Amino acid sequence: MKFKTRLVAAALSAVWLSGCGSLMRSDYQAPEVQVPANWQQMHVAGDVSMDPWWLAFNDPTLNQYITQVLAQNNDLTLATLTLKKARLQLGLAQDDLFPTLSSSTSGQVQKSLDSGESADSYSTNLSVNYELDLWGKISADVDQAKWTAMASQQDREATAQSLVATTASLYWQIGYLKQRLNLSQRNVADAAQTLQLIEKQYQLGAVDQLDVLEAKRTLASLQAQQSEFEQSLLEANNAFAILFNQPPKSISVNIQMLPEGDMPSLSVGAPSDLLIRRPDIKAAIYEVKAALANKDAADLDYLPKLTLTGALGGSSQALKDLLSNPIGSLGADMTLPFLQWNEMKNSQAIADLDYQSAIVSYRQVLYAAFQDVENALSAREKLKYQAARLQEQYDAASAAESIYAARYQYGSTSIMDYLNAQEDTRNAQASLLENRYNQFLTQVTLYQSLGGTDVAPL
C-alpha cells in the first residue's frame, strides 16, 4: 500500500513539474538590426497599394499567363510539397505531447503428444506510455517544428513571387526580342538595298571597290546580328515554355512588342515595411525562432526524463472470458542523459552556433533586401533620364542620316560617311528600345524587392 501511495505521489509531482517546463525556455528577442528611416534614392512614405502588382500594367494576356504559371509550375509544386512535409513533421512533434497507446492480442493451442488432448489459451495487453514534459523539451521541439513550417510557408511564397517576376520578365523579353528582330530585319533589308545601289554605281565607275566592300561588310554584320536575335528569341521561348510544366518547344507567346505608355506609378513605403512584406525576410526571422527553440531543446534534452507506463491485460482459456480477470500495472521510468557529458556539451554548442548563424543569415537577408530596393529605385530614375537623352540622340542621328543621304545622292560626301550615319541611327534606335526593355525589368525588380501580400496562399 505504501509503495502504491509513493508511486502515485511521484507521478503527481512529475505532472506538476511538467507545468513548470516553460519557465526554463528562452525568451525570444528580435535580432539587433539597423533599419533606415527613409530610402536614399526616393524619399517616399505611405502605404504600398499595388497588390497584385502586375494588374497595374493592364495586360490581360500577362494576367492570364501568371494565373496559369502559378497553377502549373514545377518549382512552386516542389515548394508546396516541402511545406506539406514540414506541416506533417509538426504534427509528429505535437503527438509527443500525448500518451502513446499500444495493444496486442495472442492465442495459442497446446496439444499433448501422449493423450492427444489440446488446450487453448488467449492473452491480451493494452499499454500506455507517457513521457512527461518536465522541463519543456518536448514543447521546444514542437515550437521548432512550428517555426520551421512557417518558414517553409514563406519560402514557398518567395518562390511564387519570384516565379511571377520571372514570368513577366520573360514575357517582356520575348516582346522586346520580337521587336528587336523586326528592326534587325528592316536594317538587313535596307543594307541589302544600299549594297545593290553601290554595286550599280561601281559598275558605272561612280564609286571604287572599297565602297562596295564596306557595304558588304555592313550587310554581313547585320545578318550575323539578326541570327543572334533569332537564337535569343528561341531560348526565351523555351525558357517561357518550361515555366508551365512542359518541355521546351516552339510556342506562340501572344506579345509582339513592348507595351507603350509610361511605367505604372507606385508608392514604395518606408524601409521598415519590408519586415512584413517580404517573404524571405519573414522566413529568415522564423528560422531564427526555430533555431532558438532547437537551442532550448538541446539544453533541456540532457535533463532527467520521466516516463509513466501503464498496462491492462488478461488471459483465459476461453476467448469470451479474456477480460474477466484483468491485471493492471503502473510504473515509472527515469533516465539521466546528463551523464553523457561530452555529448551534451557538444550538442549544446552546435545548437548555439546554429542559432547564431540564423541571426547572421537574417541580417544578410534584411540588408540585401534594402540593397535591392535602393538599387531598383536608382535604376528606375536613371533609366527614365537616359530614355530622354537616348530619344534626343536618335532624333539627331536620324536627322543627320537624312542629310548624309541627300549629300551622297548629289555626290558631295563619301559612301563611308553615309554608311556610318546609317549605323549611328540604327544604334541609337536599338539603344532606345533596349532602354525601354530595361525599364520593364527594373519595374519588375522593384515590385519584387518590395514584396507584398501572398500571391499563392495555401
Do residues 149 and 55 make contact, with C-beta atoms less than 8 angstroms apart?
no
Please state, for a pLDDT cut of 90, what percent of the chain lies above it.
59
Whether pLDDT at 261 is above 60: yes
Per 3-state DSSP, the chain is made up of helix, strand and coil in percentages (nearest 5) of 65, 10, 25
Task: Determine the residue type at 119.
Answer: A
**pLDDT score at 42:** 62
Which region among 95-99, 186-190, 285-289, 403-407 has the lowest average model confidence (pLDDT)? 95-99
Residue 71 has pLDDT above 90, yes or no: yes
* Homologous superfamily (CATH) for 1-22+100-132+304-339: Outer membrane efflux proteins (OEP) (2.20.200.10)
Mean pLDDT of the chain: 85
Over 50: is that where the pLDDT of 325 sits?
A: yes
Burial label, 342 (beta-carbon count in 10 A; 0-12, 13-18, 19+): exposed
pLDDT of residue 385: 95
> Residue 344 and residue 297: Cα distance in Å, rounded?
11
What's residue 17's pLDDT? 47
Is the pLDDT reported for residue 108 higher than 50? yes
Q: At what angle do helices 279-300 and 341-409 cross, to 10 degrees?
A: 170
Q: Could you tell me which CATH number the domain at 31-97+135-302+341-450 has?
A: 1.20.1600.10
**pLDDT one-digit tens code per residue, 424-447:** 999 999 999 999 999 999 999 999
DSSP 8-class letter at 372: H
Q: Give the lowest-confidence range in 122-131, 162-171, 196-205.
A: 122-131
Beta-bridge partner residues of 18: none
pTM for the model: 0.84
Q: Does the pLDDT of residue 328 top 60, yes or no? A: no
**Cross-strand bridge partners of residue 335:** 305
DSSP conformation letters of 263-287: PPP-----GGGHHHH-HHHHHHHHH
Indicate whether 299 pLDDT > 50. Answer: yes
d(CA 392, CA 86): 56
Cβ within 8 Å of residue 60, ≥6 positions away = none
**pLDDT at residue number 124:** 60
pLDDT band at 110 (very low <50, low <70, confident <90, very high): low
Residue 16: per-residue pLDDT: 46
Domain ranges, ordered by start, for the chain: 1-22+100-132+304-339, 31-97+135-302+341-450
**For 46-60, 232-246, 363-377, which range has the lowest pLDDT when averaged over its residues?**
46-60
pLDDT, residue 336, reads: 64
Whether 372 shows a pLDDT value over 90: the answer reads: yes
| Planar angle of CA 29, 33, 39, nearest 5 degrees | 140
Tell whether the model's pLDDT for residue 321 goes beyond 80. Answer: no
- The pLDDT of residue 157 is 97
Name residue 106's beta-bridge partners.
123
- 1-22+100-132+304-339 and 31-97+135-302+341-450 agree in CATH topology: no
